Amino acid sequence: MKTQKVWFITGASRGFGFEIARAALEAGDRVVATVRSQPGQLAAILDNHPELDVVQMDVTQEDEVKVAVKRAIARFGRVDVLVNNAGYGMVTAIEEATDAEVRKQYDTNVFGLLNVTRAVLPYLRQQKSGHIINISSLFGYDAIPGWGLYGSTKFAVEGLSKGLAVELAPLGIHVTVVAPGLFSTDFLSTDSYVTAKTIIADYQETVGPMRSGADALHGNQPGDPKKFAQVILQVANTDHPPLHLPVGKDAIGMYQNNAAKVAQDIEAWLPVATSTDHDHRVAA
C-alpha cells in the first residue's frame, strides 16, 4: 500500500512546479506549494484541494522561508519530499551582465535553493528520512552561447546536490538532481526569463540569435511537462533513487556530448596532465 507523502514544492505557480504539485495531489499525497504572489489563485486552480496548502514565499528571503517551512510542519507534521524548483533564466553574454544582474540570478537559483534546503533539513534529520529533489537543467551539463551565466547556476546546483548526497546518505536522506531538457513550460516566454540591459555588439554572432530566438522556440519545445511530473513522482517513490537524472532526449544528448568532449581533451593532454608528480628521489 502506498504511503502518503508530504511534498514541499517551490516555484509552484506554473511550469514544472505546478505540474508536480497537481500530480502529487492526484496521487493522494499532501502538498505545500510555495508561490511569490497570489496564493489564492493557485489554490483555486487546484480546486482548493483539502490536502493542499499554498504559501506565499520568496526563496531569497530566508525569514519567509523559515516561516513557510514551520507552517508546513504545523499543518502536515512532516516533509517527505522537497522539490527545489524556483528559478529563472537570463539570456546574456557573461561579460554583458552587471554585478547586480548576476547576483540576482544567483540569489534565486542558488542561494534561494540553499535557504530552503537549510530550513527543511533539520526536520528531515530528525525524521531520519526524506528526499531532496533539486531541479537543474540541461545547461548544467554544457554551455550554450547566451545561457552560460544561467547554466553556471545549474552547475552550482549539480555540485551542491553531489555534496548533499554524500553528507546526508548516512542520515537516511536521499538527494536527486534532475536536469530537464526543453519542455513546453513558460520558461522561454518573455515573462519567465530576462535579458541583460547591456548589449555588446561583438557578441551578436554568438549571443544575438539567442536574444531573438528564445521567444520563437517557446511553445515548440519537445518535452511534455505533465510527463516530467510523472518522472518526479516515480523518482520520489523508489527506494533507490538516482543522484543524477537528465530527463529528455536533448538533456541526455547534452550530457553525452559534454562527457565526450571532456574525455577527448583529457586523452589529448594525458601525457602533460600526468607529468606533475615529484620526481622519484632515491635516499642517499
Average pLDDT, the chain: 93
Please check whether residue 72 is in contact with residue 6, taking contact to mean a CB–CB distance below 8 angstroms: yes
Q: What are phi and psi of 75, to 5 degrees?
A: -80, -45
Please check whether residue 262 is in contact with residue 145, taking contact to mean a CB–CB distance below 8 angstroms: no
Q: What are phi and psi of 172, to 5 degrees?
A: 80, 20
Tell me if 279 is assigned to some domain: no
Tell me if 69 is assigned to some domain: yes
Please check whether residue 85 is in contact with residue 9, taking contact to mean a CB–CB distance below 8 angstroms: yes
Q: Which residues pair with 178 in a beta bridge?
A: 135, 245
pLDDT, tens digit, 9 for 90 and up, residues 124-181:
999 999 999 999 999 999 999 999 999 999 999 999 999 999 999 999 999 999 999 9
Residue 144 neighbours by CB under 8 Å, 6+ apart? 151, 210
Domain CATH code at residue 119: 3.40.50.720
Please check whether residue 237 is in contact with residue 2, taking contact to mean a CB–CB distance below 8 angstroms: yes
Q: Which residues pair with 254 in a beta bridge?
A: none
243 vs 161: CA distance, rounded Å: 8
Burial of 20 (0-12, 13-18, 19+ CB in 10 A): buried
> What's the pLDDT at 193?
75
Structural domain total, the chain: 1
Grid cell at residue 21: 504539485
pLDDT, tens digit, 9 for 90 and up, residues 181-210:
998 766 444 556 789 999 999 999 999 998
Cell 527506494, residue?
239
33 vs 43: CA distance, rounded Å: 9
Tell me if 278 is assigned to some domain: no
Tell me if 283 is assigned to some domain: no
75 vs 251: CA distance, rounded Å: 37
Tell me if 55 is assigned to some domain: yes
1 vs 88: CA distance, rounded Å: 38
Q: Is the dihedral of CA 125, 126, 129, 130 positive or negative?
A: negative
**3-class SS at 121?**
helix
Tell me if 162 is assigned to some domain: yes
**3-class SS at 193?**
strand
Neighbours of 99 (CB within 10 A): 7
Grid cell at residue 149: 551565466
Which residues does the annotation mark as catalytic? 136, 150, 154
Tell me if 1 is assigned to some domain: no
Residue 13 lies in domain: 6-273
Tell me if 253 is assigned to some domain: yes
pLDDT tier, 283 (very low <50, low <70, confident <90, very high otherwise): low
* pTM for the structure as a whole: 0.93
Least-confidence region, from 113-127, 209-223, 243-257: 209-223
Residue 266 neighbours by CB under 8 Å, 6+ apart? 273
